[in-house]
């Protein structure tokens, strides 16, 4: 068994990307370290032994939680079993609070120090989680500036490192290369469609978005591109798009090109989540959309205590981006909002100015490196405490 072992647990696409970056940064700082846990392709490519695949635990919405509970339960206990077998000296839990807070409790029992990276949205709902975190973790590392004071006031060791997306969100292709790759006409206005990173949410959101695209194409010459999330199979996604030679809608998909699609489109239609922040960082005017089950929506309205759904609007403290949620998320409404942005360059410019101000609040480059430094400090402190305790035990 390696001398040093670290567990990293991520349950979503963004967490998988952050986990991969952390694994690489920790491997550079701690040569020979073994990193294992839960994650996806990005973490595996970074050398993490993912004993649980993030697909097994990635669920959204109350009804989906109920349906997926047995699968998540098995994955949870498999991770706990791996912690018992490998005895990691540090655990890093990334966002995903419904799962990770329970895991933190089990790790605490085993005297494994826990660093939590990317705070649960305690400023939006379930504020009592701050007290739970205080009991179960060694340190909270936050990526939004306003979160630091929340934990500091609660007496939770905390550090703000900035947002990892600052180093990630940028196109990899030129405009000409992207349009050639996506088989699009560079002379035609392009709309980027981002229906989500989970198959279930794509199944719910994409049909409405495609209907909006059809409406938009009736009176305008437009083309549409769907950047395929790494968690979605391109063949499956393309099978959900109606194909007809008589259809006025021109839709293409593109793998590994999310930031290129956002950078080189006129407007984007984006599902709620990290993708809205990514679009803002690309300074792409957008319409935010989302729909969940009626029961999840009802419960959410009772519990969520913020005026906006998009993190972009929450950070801006105003409706910088139009939000079409639930019954407001219709093809007619999406088409109308996109048309307005296409017809009003001053509205697009105002939105871009808001995005530029928001980007200034996301911190400097190097968030992952700073987070890794902080994690090594926790590890070293815990190991020093252990050695001191062992030295204090009298020899019989």
* Residue-range domain boundaries for the chain: 5-163+363-392, 175-359
3-class secondary structure, 89: coil
Question: What pTM did the predictor assign?
Answer: 0.88
Q: By the 8 A CB rule, do 153 and 353 touch? A: no
Q: By the 8 A CB rule, do 274 and 249 touch? A: no
Distance CA 167, CA 163 (A): 8
Quick one: pLDDT at residue 125?
76
Distance CA 327, CA 317 (A): 23
Question: What superfamily in CATH does domain 175-359 come from?
Answer: Glycogen Phosphorylase B; (3.40.50.2000)
Distance CA 247, CA 245 (A): 6
Q: By the 8 A CB rule, do 270 and 288 touch? A: yes
Give the position of tokens 């109920």.
66
Distance CA 39, CA 95 (A): 12
Distance CA 300, CA 306 (A): 11
Q: Whose CA is closest to 277, among 305, 304, 316?
A: 316
Quick one: pLDDT at residue 329?
96
Give the position of tokens 């670290």.
6
Distance CA 367, CA 362 (A): 10
CATH class of the region 5-163+363-392: alpha beta
92 forms bridges with which residues in the sheet? 8, 115
Helix (H) / strand (E) element for 10: namely strand 5-10
| Stated length of the chain | 396
Distance CA 114, CA 138 (A): 5
Q: By the 8 A CB rule, do 139 and 158 touch? A: yes
Angle, in degrees to the nearest 10, between helices 62-86 and 97-109: 30
Cβ-based neighbour number of residue 266 at 10 Å: 17
Give the position of tokens 């950078």.
263
User: What stretches in the chain show pLDDT beneath 50?
Assistant: 1, 62-63
Domains 5-163+363-392 and 175-359 share a fold: yes
Q: By the 8 A CB rule, do 289 and 271 touch? A: yes
Quick one: pLDDT at residue 1?
45
Q: By the 8 A CB rule, do 311 and 345 touch? A: no
């Amino acid at each position: 068994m390696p001398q040093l072992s670290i567990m990293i647990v991520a349950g979503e696409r963004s967490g998988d990307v952050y986990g991969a970056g952390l694994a690489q940064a920790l491997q550079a700082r701690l040569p020979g370290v073994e990193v294992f846990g839960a994650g996806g392709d990005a973490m595996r490519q970074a050398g993490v032994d993912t004993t649980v695949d993030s697909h097994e635990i990635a669920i959204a919405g109350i009804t989906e939680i109920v349906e997926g509970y047995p699968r998540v339960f098995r994955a949870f206990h498999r991770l706990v079993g791996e912690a018992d077998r490998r005895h990691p000296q540090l655990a890093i839990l990334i966002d995903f609070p419904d799962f990770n807070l329970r895991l933190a409790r089990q790790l605490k029992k085993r005297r494994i120090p826990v660093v939590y990276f990317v705070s649960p949205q305690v400023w939006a709902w379930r504020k009592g989680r701050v007290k739970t975190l205080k009991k179960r973790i060694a340190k909270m590392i936050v990526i939004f500036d306003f979160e630091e004071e929340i934990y500091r006031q609660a007496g939770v060791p905390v550090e703000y490192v900035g947002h990892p997306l600052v180093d990630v969100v940028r196109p990899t292709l030129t405009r000409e290369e992207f349009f050639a790759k996506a088989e699009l006409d560079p002379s035609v206005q392009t709309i980027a469609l981002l229906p989500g990173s989970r198959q279930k949410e794509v199944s719910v959101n994409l049909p409405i978005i495609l209907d909006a695209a059809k409406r938009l194409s009736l009176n305008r010459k437009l083309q549409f591109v769907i950047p395929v999330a790494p968690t979605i199979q391109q063949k499956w996604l393309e099978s959900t798009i109606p194909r007809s030679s008589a259809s006025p809608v021109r839709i293409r998909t593109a793998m590994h090109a999310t930031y290129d699609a956002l950078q080189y489109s006129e407007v984007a239609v984006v599902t709620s989540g990290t993708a809205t922040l990514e679009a803002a960082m690309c300074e792409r005017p957008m319409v935010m959309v989302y729909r969940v089950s009626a029961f999840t929506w009802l419960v959410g309205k009772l519990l969520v205590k913020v005026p906006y759904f998009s993190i972009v609007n929450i950070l801006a403290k105003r409706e910088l981006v139009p939000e079409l949620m639930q019954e407001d998320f219709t093809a007619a409404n999406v088409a109308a909002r996109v048309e307005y942005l296409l017809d009003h360059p001053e509205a697009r410019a105002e939105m871009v100015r808001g995005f530029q101000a928001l980007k200034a609040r996301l911190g400097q480059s190097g968030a992952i490196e700073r987070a890794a430094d902080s994690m090594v400090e926790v590890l070293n402190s815990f190991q020093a405490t252990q050695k001191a305790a062992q030295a204090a035990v009298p020899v019989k």
